[in-house]
Structure 1
Amino acid sequence: MTSRRDELATRLGEVRARIDRAASAAGRDTGDVELVVVTKYFPASDVNHLVDLGVRHIGENKDQEAGAKVAEIARRDEVTVHFIGQLQSNKAGHVAAYADVVQSVDRAKIVTALDRGAQRHGRRLDVLLQVALDDDEGRGGARPGDVPALADLVEDAEALRLRGVMAVAPLGGDPRRAFARLREVADGIRAGHPDATWVSAGMSADLEDAVAEGATHLRVGTAILGTRPSLG
């Protein structure tokens, strides 16, 4: 019977091969594309297997689940924890205690709350601005036209560091076209904030399109962990 570790190793290898092929097709260096394995709903035991397999970036969506799970990571100092879910201002202080990167900053209230929380915990957080590429308000994100002002606000925050932008492809839309739009927004932000070089885009189904449009970080969950939580 295949062990959970072996299953993860096989799936991880398949995703890494897809990234290699996509980077080659786009004329990019695979080393310029970082894989963030989305571990929401899966146990810390899976995270520990992934770390053993060389994964160094994990993504979490739910604060209530993530805080406890991060505390169980055996080699925590080797892992960068990305919070990628929609964030409420009243949860921001708690997220600031364990996340290293917050990818879903989409309004001024979140910037203020994260900055306050990071200062309270004596930490400095990397931040990505989530860009809305459709009209679905339930998925979060700032309008492209509002992103520059948000970038300036993060830049002025004492405990936050602006690293770039993030987006989710619209449901039912053309992901390549959406990621091309994100690339335009990213270029505009980088013009005023040269260190904001990260572009987080692409998931299990559309990572190739994201790589083709310059994504530096891919958020992949299902293709590696499966569709339902492991029991251990």
Structure 2
Amino acid sequence: MIALLLRDLNLAVRAGGGFGLALAFFLIVVVLVPFGVGPDSAILSAIAPGILWVGALLACLLSLDRIFALDHEDGSLDLLATAPIPLEGVVAMKAAAHWVTTGLPLTLAAPGLGMLLSLEPDAFGWQMLSLALGTPALSMIGTFGAALTVGLKRGGLLLSLLVLPLYVPTLIFGAELVARGADGMATATPLMMLAAITLATVALLPFAAAAAIRINLR
């Protein structure tokens, strides 16, 4: 499993789906927002948690179609499906590789980019915590969507349409956690909901994604 994870990390970077592309898109979103809403720091500070979460969500979408596409094109996916290792484990490693190359860099870069949106200093830690808890769910949901569309020509748009509605709960509770933390309000509810979403996706979606892959490879 570790060898598969390292292989996927290497392929993700070499295929152009590494952290550089996601970070560049994240930066573009953050830089463009002040031009659209104005330079008022009070307004930017109020919308900063939501904007950072939307930017991270959209950045995660960029490389979803590559999760299984390369393996399907060269026949590696068929070999992985018939290998003695569980296909559910393969799916989990694919999601982990996507998170390491996309979700983790976005989490680490969020405080620095938050400064461009006048994010309150008290919210930096909450922003990193919310992304650290929520981005694994984004990667796992995206992997499930990629499994549903594997083998489809030009399935990138369909993948986005399938995945975006499933991202909404994570987006809501992630942004709410940062907003409440910055205002000194109780954060237990959004924190537990965000953690529950991530745990549920990690526990259930590898099995659903593996079943989808088996159906698509028939």
- Name the structure with the higher strand share: 1
TM-score of the superposed pair, with normalisation by structure 2: 0.26
TM-score (norm 1): 0.25
| Higher percent of residues as helix | 2
Report which structure shows greater RCO (CA 8 Å, sep ≥6): 2
